[in-house]
Amino acid sequence: MRNTNRPYRIIISGGGTGGHIYPAVAIANQIKAISPESEILFVGAKGRMEMTRVPEAGYKIVGLWISGLQRRLTIDNLSFPLKVLSSVRASHKIINDFKPDAVVGVGGYASGPLLYAATAKGIPSLIQEQNSYAGITNKLLAKRVGKVCVAYENMDKFFPADKLVLTGNPVRQDILDITEKRREALLHFGLNSEKKTILVIGGSLGARTINQSIAGGLEQLTIAGYQLIWQTGKGYYAEAKELEQNYSDKGVRVFDFIKRMDLAYAAADIVVSRAGALSISELCLAAKPCILVPSPNVAEDHQTKNAMALVQQHAAILVRDAEASQKLIPAALQLAQDEKEQQRLSENIKKMARPNAAADIVNELVKLIK
């Protein structure tokens, strides 16, 4: 897309997990790429991960007092109506002060009140749905916004068909070309270029089943000669870090969070991952053979649906969460030893990549503004 001289004022709202935050930052970066003078403000939920991750990416963020409804009766649930009213009021003030040309919602708690307030004022609005199963906030907002950008086919069961645009999920640009980064990656993680590397990622918040399965299989993996880059999330980090001491000379590297995911993908020969929408979009672009272990703790089991979209194209291997403790390590060992299968999975997953997602979304946004 060519550069445009017109500076835009855009609010991007949402968050809660990396799966919402990274697409939001990718959209912001694309707006800056076509119009460097543009002003971008993020709106998140106080106390959530976006409040630190967004400033790290170089953008300003303000927080709303908002959280989700719990499935059981809690104090949080009793204060929920108050939080919604307070957040809608705060959103009106943010919009009045910032005067945006348009608003983008990426899902997560904060996007509800902000987009509700923006659409009430007639401000052009767009939502981006990352998953194959739509989130409740986005479903509620769909009737009010101008466009709904999605990453999967057949999303008209959740959204008005005339508003849908199939764009894919925007991801970090540095993942687009990792083929030249392998040497740098191995140096960065202190790994041996003679050994194969398995990358384990449980999503931005970690994944207990994957972590426990890997912990139980470290001996097998290292005896077989494989090295490991293991992102545990915060909850399991201390435990895994203790284990690392026994295996660091064998190439086991443990992190609670990996900032340089481009280098993690570049170093990896195979990947074990949850099946969040963002992880899948990144794996498609990185073209890595992968084993997906969908989280069972998500609405309508949407990670299994995400994973099956790949499995049906022979583009990934599925291990169910309930079976991971028995099946994950054998599946990883089998794939790591089978170069033909790695090649096949890599070629098939690459066909599903949508490298221009951020540009396509911003294109739709500009059309709404005009």
Cα atoms in the 13 Å half-sphere on the side-chain side of 35? 18
The DSSP line for 244-261 is: HHHHGGGTEEEES--S-H
Nearest-CA neighbor of 295 among 17, 14, 13, 15?
Answer: 17
Q: Is 77 within any annotated ligand binding site? A: no
Decide which of 105 and 84 is more confident: 105
Q: Is 183 within any annotated ligand binding site? A: no
Q: Is 17 within any annotated ligand binding site? A: yes
Nearest-CA neighbor of 173 among 264, 261, 289, 54?
Answer: 261
Q: Is 258 within any annotated ligand binding site? A: yes
In the chain, DSSP assigns E strands to 9-13, 39-45, 60-64, 102-105, 125-129, 147-150, 164-166, 197-201, 227-231, 252-255, 270-273, 290-292, 317-318
Query: For position 1, what pLDDT does the model report?
Result: 47
Query: For position 207, what pLDDT does the model report?
Result: 86
CA distances for 181 relative to 29, 124, 173, 186, angstroms: 22, 40, 14, 9
Q: Is 342 within any annotated ligand binding site? A: no
Q: How buried is residue 160: exposed, middle or buried, by Cβ count under 10 Å (0-12/13-18/19+)?
A: exposed
Res 78 pLDDT > 80:
no
* Nearest-angstrom CA–CA distance, 73 and 196: 48
Phi-psi region of 340 (alpha: psi -120 to 50; beta: other; left: phi over 0): alpha
Cα atoms in the 13 Å half-sphere on the side-chain side of 209? 19
Sign of CA dihedral 195, 227, 342, 130: negative
Average pLDDT value for residue range 258-262: 91
Query: For position 143, what pLDDT does the model report?
Result: 93
Tokens for 109?
Answer: 């708690």
Q: How confident is the model at residue 330 (pLDDT cuts 50, 70, 90)?
A: very high
Res 4 pLDDT > 60:
no
Residues linked to residue 318 through DSSP beta bridges, in sequence order: 292
Q: How confident is the model at residue 47 (pLDDT cuts 50, 70, 90)?
A: confident
Domains contained in the chain, CATH given: 9-169+356-369 (3.40.50.2000), 174-350 (3.40.50.2000)
Q: Is 204 within any annotated ligand binding site? A: yes
Of 34-48, 60-74, 197-211, 243-257, give the lowest mean pLDDT range.
60-74
Q: Which residue is associated with the tokens 């915060």?
A: 234
